[in-house]
Structure 1
Amino acid sequence: MVTGDRREAAGHVVMAYHERSKHHLNRYAAGPETLDWDAQPDPFRVFTGSPRRVLPLLADETAVTFAGLPAATPQPFTLQTVAQLLELSLGLAAWKEYGPDRWALRCNPSSGNLHPTETYLLAFGVQGLEDGLYHYLSRDHLLEQRWSPDTQPRAPGLYIGLSSIPWREAWKYGERALRYCQLDIGHALGALRYAAGTLGWHLHWRGDVDDARLHGLLGLDRSGDFAHAEGEDAECLLEVLPTDTMPSAIASPAALPGQWRGQANCLDPHPLYQWPVIAETTSASRMPVLTPDPIPPDPWPARKKAGQTAASALIRRRRSAQRFDPNTVMAADDFFTLLDALLPRSTLPWDLWPFTPRIHPILFVHRVSGLSSGLYALPRTAEGGPVLRMALHPDFSWEAVAAAPTHLPLWRLYGGDVRGIARTLSCHQAIAADGCFAVAFLAEYADPLKSGAWRYRLLYQEAGLLGQILYLEAESLGLNGTGIGCFFDDAAHEILGIQDKRLQSLYHFTVGRALTDTRISTLPPYAHRELNTHTGENA
């Protein structure tokens, strides 16, 4: 049990980390002084010596459309359906080439395309797949079996475990890396929920599995298996359910006789920097056993969705835009559709998130037809509205947007051209001004952290989940998005009139129409698997 003193001490560690990892107009958070891209950490974790099971690839696009998610008929747990879940959530979407450089894109986005998130599958009673614990190697779309039981567990079940390798982000971003790892977990959660929806499945957050137990479940506490490799931090466990039913008891590898196999590869044999504050903050914010927050009935009407694009096609074509067309004007109805998707409901993808919403978008509107440019707020809960009004600038107008749907809690705070402000706050990046709008995700910060430092992770994960919704919903409208992790924290707070720690900006995002760099070639994600098959190599 965590005492009040220990909880308070952990909270101080987390808040101190947040302050020291802020970017400022006159200086950036501590990071590496130089980057050698030829020495970038390996983007793929491999367990040498683990038996491999190559997964089938989707032969055709899914019948269910993105607008039709989730699919009405749940599919059975088989090797084929598990493969679809992984391919459409955490698998590769394409390879890119520019000159001698080649890099992979995945269905789940990542800060700097560095991908600290690792995925584990704990499967019992899945048709065509031996029981056990597996690591998913997205590079080749295959499972590496880390553990196999000696006896047959009694209860069937399918679970997804997520972990983070902070060094992948710290290599480029230094002390700010822990923030990005948590944002990436949020994106991965969203990617998994949409992919599960193509199979008619539900995902249940297993709050009854704390950090220590999850390390054991995923084999991350096996120091010998990571003797010469970077360690991984357990993040969360999801149970896959074919229908909205009660979760089952988990058959733990630690409690069953079996065999462990595999040695983790070293991602970076010559790290040049150390950032001990990351490990300190990770330890202070470890997840306890969690009780889901009481979630009230939906205060909003059901969403009206349209479109015939196959969900799988839309998921796989999602990209993080690098540049936007600064002349694109977005239709107001599309803008309202995107904002409506961010409101918490009891349906996909929010049925995955068993916690009180704490993130509220502040919108820098640049080019939306029929809507004046300026600063807007979207409080996502009834309680969030008063919090924003009390903490933001007292001179904001808080005018209701007459053109918006009556249920959409959209308020105009300030009218005027905010492109320069958005660009400056987002580390001078043009994408924040050239999109149709940009977003600063404000978190209710100080009050949630009083109940536990672990809520720091949840705040970032919720922000990442919101980002994943914007990515896919924008794609469904023929637009594109990109997350912005680099922004000047306190400069943003000053512009918004925030003078204390009740609110903090955790993540920026922007939506517009992407400009394609035709010099960069796009290649299929798994063509190399066919090549390996023809040459007799192991995939």
Structure 2
Amino acid sequence: MSDTEQSPLPLYHARTKHRFDAYAAGPGQLDWDAQPAPFRHYLGAPRCELPLAAERYERAYGRLGEMPENPVPATLASLGALFELAFAISAWKSWGANRWALRCNPSSGNLHPVEAWALCGGLAGVPDGLHHYDPEAHALEHRVLVPPADAAPWLAIALSSAMWREAWKYGERAFRYCQLDVGHALGSLAYAAELLGWRLRPQAIGSDTLGGLLGLDRAADFPAGRAASSEREEAEILVAIDAPGLSTPPDAALLRVRHDAAGWLGKPSRIDPAPGYRWPLIDQAAVASRSAEIAPISRSTVEFDEFPPLPAHPTTAGAAQLIRQRRSGQRFDPRQTLPRAAFLRLLDATLPRRRAPFTGQTAPAQVHLLLFVLRVDGLDSGLYLLPRGAAGAQLAATLTARFPDAAPVEDCPPHLGLRRLTRAGLLELQRLARALNCHQDIAATSAFSLGMLADFSAADGAGYRELLREAGRIGQALYLEAEAAGVRGTGIGCFFDDPVHDVAGLSDGRWQSVYHFTVGTPIVDQRIETAPPYPQRTQEGS
């Protein structure tokens, strides 16, 4: 791109901001009886059920950062546990005639654009080739089956996005939400892998190559015409699994040749046969942010700041238990407060350490937290800043200079660098938090809410996706830490962008709020019934 050309990504981001006087372009109304299919199947493809085996590998949530002396070998059972805790259904909910699934990986509006894939060779119990994960049945659909190769076993996980699932409801802003969901999915995968003693290692592969490897460029398999935009999937990322006995995956070009030679199995089911809108701006943002074929995506290139190890959590709950019980809070009890120790632990878990959910992150940390502290024991209500490491030092200096009473928080672990920018009365802060978050009570009745400020000097090309994914990973840490603390979190995608910047005194465009979150004591709607995720299966079944 020449110096005279402007990247379409800042233009996309600016156009998709919500403002007090107008929301980003979206559908005028929603037909809930015609929403996109939440599950994609490959009709006619052979398949194998995965074991529901997560409980075999359960261990205390607070010990996740400590890699076990004997990591779990890669088997059909452990692969089943990986997909179960990362992407599977966690429960069915019903209210009257309405029934819907919840999953271990959260999603904007529970719409779930992210599709997961397994690529493997020499893995006992799983044929060599490419497999699409079906969360509805907790099964692998065999998209390509290749003859076994005389090589060491290997395993990789890929993610793609069916962007129409989000665009159907959110219009042009949906590309943002898809990338936040990819971040959540990567965080979910990192937590599930860490439970097994495994690590994620991103692969250097361009978006077009990955799309071909997954068969997403096979135009004949997907409908043409008006429905084409609703059926296409966007290739996102490929990560190798580091586990006992596994080697590095073969070259992507070699894998594609083997796939084409073996032949493709099954046809993708329809997501939406009659979409009512088109959002070409989403496709433009996707094209502009794809990884180049020579993109140096390597985990070894990411240098995280050094922080003290995250201490063991006092909860006795298991990691698998917390992952499966995670929910988004719908209402919060404003009479309840959050203990100061729990609040500080929540913030500490968002710092970018070499542990879940940040294992496999492909860029340095560039997202920092602007906090609206409402009901935390021992802290004044007000506006606070958590710079997530050295990269946030300039932001901290800028905001400290703009708030005359800014000061470090006393008796706070020094590595957090938590600063109070200004005190504010509770009623005033509630009104502000509610207004900035599209007038939603969940941002005002909680213990605290926050906006994630991303450094947009790193937002060109694939860096734009990575900023949003980093925000999604932070959200995943907050979700699980909230569950471990006995409270609940909720991601907030609807907020008024520039008014948030105005509150912080940021006007030059470098810092942009990309995702909001809130944590508090939930009020559970007892009218909604809960059922197990796979009632037709036993925990040890396969």
TM range, smaller chain: over 0.9
Deviation at 1:155, TM superposition (A): 4.0
Secondary structure of the 1:45 match is coil
Secondary structure of the 2:144 match is strand
Correspondence 1:185-204 to 2 at 5 A: 185-204=182-201
Q: Which runs of 5+ in 1 are unaligned?
A: 534-538
Q: Name which of 489, 500, 508 aligns with 2:508.
A: 500
Q: Does 1:266 align with 2:276?
A: no
Aligned to 1:442: 453
Question: Contact 1:359/1:380 (CA < 8 Å) preserved in 2?
Answer: yes
Aligned to 2:237: 236
Aligned to 2:63: 68
Deviation at 1:528, TM superposition (A): 4.0
The farther-off stretch of 487-496 and 395-404 is 395-404
CA deviation profile, 1:373-404 (whole Å, cap 9, x unmatched): 10000111223121343368723533010121
Q: Does 1:402 align with 2:404?
A: no
Q: Does 1:152 align with 2:142?
A: no
Deviation at 1:310, TM superposition (A): 1.3
Correspondence 1:341-490 to 2 at 5 A: 341-390=349-398, 394-417=402-425, 418-445=429-456, 447-449=457-459, 452-490=460-498
1 CA distance for matches of 2:324 and 2:18? 33
Aligned to 2:308: 301
Correspondence 1:177-326 to 2 at 5 A: 177-206=174-203, 208-227=204-223, 230-242=231-243, 247-250=248-251, 252-256=254-258, 257-288=261-292, 289-292=295-298, 294-296=301-303, 298-306=305-313, 307-326=315-334
CA deviation profile, 1:398-428 (whole Å, cap 9, x unmatched): 3010121122110000101312111100000
Aligned to 1:39: 34
Question: Contact 2:433/2:444 (CA < 8 Å) preserved in 1?
Answer: yes
1 CA distance for matches of 2:523 and 2:216? 41
One-letter code aligned to 1:218: L
Q: TM-score, normalised by structure 1?
A: 0.93
Aligned to 2:126: 129
One-letter code aligned to 1:525: P
Deviation at 1:244, TM superposition (A): 12
Structure 2 CA distance for partners of 1:285 and 1:493, relative to 1, 3 Å: same
Question: Contact 1:391/1:502 (CA < 8 Å) preserved in 2?
Answer: no
Q: TM-score, normalised by structure 2?
A: 0.93
Q: Percent identity?
A: 45
Deviation at 1:246, TM superposition (A): 7.9
1 CA distance for matches of 2:124 and 2:40? 26
Structure 2 CA distance for partners of 1:58 and 1:156, relative to 1, 3 Å: closer
Aligned to 2:79: 82
2 CA distance for matches of 1:291 and 1:61? 34
Question: Contact 1:149/1:253 (CA < 8 Å) preserved in 2?
Answer: no
Secondary structure of the 1:261 match is coil
2 CA distance for matches of 1:187 and 1:67? 20
One-letter code aligned to 1:222: R
CA deviation profile, 1:121-166 (whole Å, cap 9, x unmatched): 0011111111110000001100100001135253421000000011
Question: Contact 2:304/2:364 (CA < 8 Å) preserved in 1?
Answer: no
Q: Name which of 508, 516, 532 aligns with 1:524.
A: 532
2 CA distance for matches of 1:328 and 1:525? 31
CA deviation profile, 1:295-329 (whole Å, cap 9, x unmatched): 44643211111332111111000001101111111
Question: Contact 1:377/1:411 (CA < 8 Å) preserved in 2?
Answer: yes
The farther-off stretch of 318-327 and 282-291 is 282-291
Secondary structure of the 2:190 match is helix
Deviation at 1:341, TM superposition (A): 0.6
Question: Contact 1:341/1:469 (CA < 8 Å) preserved in 2?
Answer: yes
2 CA distance for matches of 1:356 and 1:99? 47
1 CA distance for matches of 2:62 and 2:7? 44
Deviation at 1:243, TM superposition (A): 5.7
Structure 2 CA distance for partners of 1:364 and 1:102, relative to 1, 3 Å: same
Q: Does 1:25 align with 2:26?
A: no
CA deviation profile, 1:327-360 (whole Å, cap 9, x unmatched): 1111111111011111111233323213110000
Question: Contact 1:392/1:496 (CA < 8 Å) preserved in 2?
Answer: no
One-letter code aligned to 2:351: L
Q: Which runs of 5+ in 2 are unaligned?
A: none
Question: Contact 2:202/2:297 (CA < 8 Å) preserved in 1?
Answer: no
Question: Contact 1:48/1:265 (CA < 8 Å) preserved in 2?
Answer: yes
Question: Contact 1:393/1:498 (CA < 8 Å) preserved in 2?
Answer: no
Question: Contact 2:54/2:85 (CA < 8 Å) preserved in 1?
Answer: no
2 CA distance for matches of 1:40 and 1:473? 32
Deviation at 1:45, TM superposition (A): 0.6
Aligned to 1:53: 48
One-letter code aligned to 1:33: G
2 CA distance for matches of 1:304 and 1:141? 34
Question: Contact 1:155/1:249 (CA < 8 Å) preserved in 2?
Answer: no
2 CA distance for matches of 1:233 and 1:357? 24
One-letter code aligned to 2:284: E
CA deviation profile, 1:248-275 (whole Å, cap 9, x unmatched): 4346431223121011111111111110
> How many corresponding residue pairs?
523
2 CA distance for matches of 1:8 and 1:250? 37
2 CA distance for matches of 1:83 and 1:309? 21
One-letter code aligned to 1:53: C
Aligned to 2:169: 172
1 CA distance for matches of 2:506 and 2:400? 5
One-letter code aligned to 1:499: S
RMSD over aligned Cα atoms: 2.0
1 CA distance for matches of 2:96 and 2:400? 48
Question: Contact 1:140/1:529 (CA < 8 Å) preserved in 2?
Answer: no
Question: Contact 1:204/1:247 (CA < 8 Å) preserved in 2?
Answer: no
Aligned to 1:536: none
The farther-off stretch of 171-180 and 392-401 is 392-401
One-letter code aligned to 1:19: A
2 CA distance for matches of 1:237 and 1:153? 23
Question: Contact 1:442/1:504 (CA < 8 Å) preserved in 2?
Answer: yes
Secondary structure of the 1:455 match is helix
